[in-house]
Amino acid sequence: MAIKQEVVPVGQLETAQFHLLQQLYEAHYGGLHQFSRDLSEKDWVLLLRDQDQVVGFSSLQRREADGFVIFFSGDTLVLPGHRHSYDLPRLWGRFVFQRVAHEHLPCLWFLICAGFRTYRFLPVFFKRFYPRYDQQTPPQTQQLLDSLAHQRYGPLYAEGIVRLQSPSLEPLPERQLDAHARFFLERNPDWQKGHELACLTWLERDNLTPAGLRMVRDC
C-alpha cells in the first residue's frame, strides 16, 4: 500500500495528533527537547502515513530575514522501517518548491542536522550547500549562516553547532560511511548528545542535482 503524504497547518493539528508526534519523537530522541514549543513555532507539519499510522514527519516554517525568504526545517523523524524511501524529501521538495515559485525574494533552506542521515539530503538533492567536506564555506555565506543561527538560537549556537538537549537514541550503522557522512561526524562529534550542525542551501532549480529535479518534477 502506498504511503499517504499530507501537509497540515500546525494550527489545524488536533491535540491527539500533537501528542502522538511528540511521543514518536521522544521515543527516538531524549525527552529534554522542547518539542511542543518547537512545533508550535512552525507553520506546517509534513506527515507520512502507512495505513493511517504516522511513520514520519517534519515541521517547517517560512519567514523573511536578511533579504531572503527562509524555509526552516524543525524536528524531523522517519521510523526505521521507512528510511529506505524518499517519501518525505519528495513531499518536502514538492511543497516547498511550489511555494518558492510564488516568492519575490531569493529563497534559502536553513536546517540543523541532528544526524548524518539528515545531512546527506543536501548532497543527494543539492549542488551548492554548506558546510561540506570538499569546499571551504565562503565568508559571506558563513556570515549569513551565523546570522540566521544566532537569530534563532542565540547562545546555544557557536562555531557552526547548535547545542540542544535532545540526545539521539539512534546507533551508527555498521556499513561503511561515505565522505559526506564522515564529514558530518567530524564536524559534529557530539551529535548523539543533541548537538546539531547548522546548514544552508539555495532553493533554486539550477541548484538541484538530477535526483533533486526528479523530486520536484511535478511542481
Over the stretch 21-31, which tens digit does the pLDDT of each residue have? 888 887 777 65
Instruction: Provide the pLDDT for residue 133.
Output: 97
Rounded CA gap, 143 and 146, in Å?
Answer: 5
Tell me if 4 sits within 8 A of 135, measured CB to CB: no
Task: Find the mean pLDDT for residues 108-118.
Answer: 90
| Mean pLDDT across the chain | 88
Could you write out the DSSP letters of every residue in 36-48? HHHHHT-SEEEEE
Where does the pLDDT of residue 79 fall: very low under 50, low under 70, confident under 90, or very high at 90 and above? confident
Does residue 9 or residue 215 have the better pLDDT? 9
In the chain, what are the domains?
Answer: 4-215 (3.40.630.30)
pLDDT at 32 over 60: no
Residue range 168-180: mean pLDDT, rounded? 75
pLDDT, tens digit, for every residue of 44-56? 999 998 888 888 8
Give yes or no for a contact between 132 and 200, defined as CB atoms under 8 angstroms apart. Answer: no
Residue 173's pLDDT is: 67
Secondary element (H or E) of residue 104: none
Cα distances from 86 to residues 124, 145, 183, in angstroms, run: 11, 27, 22
DSSP-derived secondary structure letter, 83: T
pLDDT of residue 169: 58
What is this structure's pTM?
Answer: 0.88
Mean of pLDDT values over 122-136:
97
Residue 1, pLDDT > 60, answer: no
Residue 219: exposed, middle, or buried by beta-carbon count in 10 A (0-12, 13-18, 19+)?
middle
Strand partners, 71: 62, 109
What lies within 8 Å, CB to CB, of 52 at 6+ separation is: 4
Range in 9-23, 130-144, 161-175, 192-206 the model is least confident about: 161-175
pLDDT score at 56: 86
Q: How would you class 12 by CB atoms within 10 Å of its CB: exposed for 0-12, middle for 13-18, buried for 19 or more?
A: exposed
Question: What is the mean predicted confidence (pLDDT) over 143-159?
Answer: 95
Q: Is the pLDDT of residue 174 over 70?
A: no
* Rounded mean pLDDT, 97-101: 95
Q: Between 21 and 83, where is the model more confident? A: 21
pLDDT at 89: 86
pLDDT-above-90 percentage for the chain: 56
Q: Whole-angstrom Cα distance, residue 70 to residue 43?
A: 12
